[in-house]
Amino acid sequence: MTTKKLVLTAFSVGIVFSILLASIACLTLKDIKKDIEIQKVADSMVKTAFKINIDEREYRLNPYKKNEIKEHLKELKKLVSSCEEICDLKRINFSKLHGSIDLYEKLFEQLKFYHETNEKIIEELRKLERIIQATIFSKPNPERGTIALLEIRLQEKSYILFREKPLLFSERPYLEKRKIAVRNLRIWAEGDKRINELIDKDSKLFEDILSNYEQMDKTLELMRKEVRKIEGLIHGIYKATQHKIDFAYKKLQILLITIMILLILAGIELAIFYTKNI
């Protein structure tokens, strides 16, 4: 009778421990599932940050990209908030991530301001060009003056498109070639006060464009720095979650092996019990 009670007690203890460990295993599986969801969100954040980076590089030549950048920023904010809600990793600084996204958004608004300002100045240059052209045609032999004016505009447009990167290494920088074209126009004008004043105004407007481009370059550098910071923080979430998943899988393996051993032992005890009672 004592042996019977001992075997039944051992069997019961084995089953209870198995159930307890199975419960812990279920909770571990639940945690793994949640962490995988966090990784999916983090992966979406990385892809969205990459899209923002690409769109920002194209924005200068394609202003319509501003709408896409705004949409991607809005999407990134939602993803970060969603990740923050389900993530329980204390070491992840979500306030820092939100701060970097907000700063990037402000920098983009600044970039957009400089770009739109340049668009207005370019429109002024077009109007001024028509006035200069009309003034040139009011003088004798306007062909050389027209050629010089066209050369000025060609070098300005080349600079706007390619900056200080001539297509051939042997070429002079665009700004230098523009100065030569301006000098040629002044020489042709032979001291004409009207044309000189118009050229001075034209040069002042173009200098404003150069100043805005300089500010845009600085802003772009800060934006790229923030994107790298955002990507680094997102990768930190992904890495921390992956570490947690790896640990949970190892824990789950140990639990399953322990449950299997307990069930085998309980089965052996039950078999011994029935064998002795046959």
Helices 193-276 and 174-189: angle between axes, nearest 10 degrees:
160
Q: Is the dihedral of CA 97, 100, 103, 104 positive or negative?
A: negative
| Residue 31 structural domain | 2-116+222-276
Nearest to 82 by CA among 49, 48, 37: 37
Quote the number of domains for the chain.
1
Measured between alpha carbons, how far is 81 from 233 in angstroms, rounded to an integer?
14
- Phi-psi sector, 192: left (phi>0), alpha (psi -120 to 50), beta: beta
Confidence (pLDDT) at 278: 53
CA angle (81, 231, 86) in 5-degree steps: 25
Confidence (pLDDT) at 1: 47
- Phi-psi sector, 62: left (phi>0), alpha (psi -120 to 50), beta: beta
pTM: 0.72
| CATH code of residue 102 | 1.20.120
Say which amino acid occupies 188. Answer: W
Answer for the pair 132, 199: CB distance below 8 angstroms, yes or no: yes
Does residue 74 fall inside a structural domain?
yes
Going residue by residue through the chain, which has 278 residues, state the pLDDT in tens, using 9 for 90 and above.
Answer: 466 666 667 667 767 777 787 787 787 778 778 777 877 888 888 888 878 777 777 776 666 677 788 888 888 888 888 887 777 766 677 888 888 889 988 998 898 899 889 989 999 998 999 999 998 888 888 888 889 889 988 888 888 777 665 555 555 678 888 898 899 888 888 888 898 999 999 999 999 998 998 898 899 889 888 888 888 888 888 888 788 778 887 887 887 888 787 777 777 766 766 666 55
Q: How many residues does the chain have?
A: 278
Answer for the pair 35, 244: CB distance below 8 angstroms, yes or no: yes
Say which amino acid occupies 140. Answer: P
Does residue 63 fall inside a structural domain?
yes
Confidence (pLDDT) at 69: 80
Does residue 148 fall inside a structural domain?
no
CA angle (218, 224, 226) in 5-degree steps: 105
Max CA distance (Å), the chain: 130
Does residue 29 fall inside a structural domain?
yes
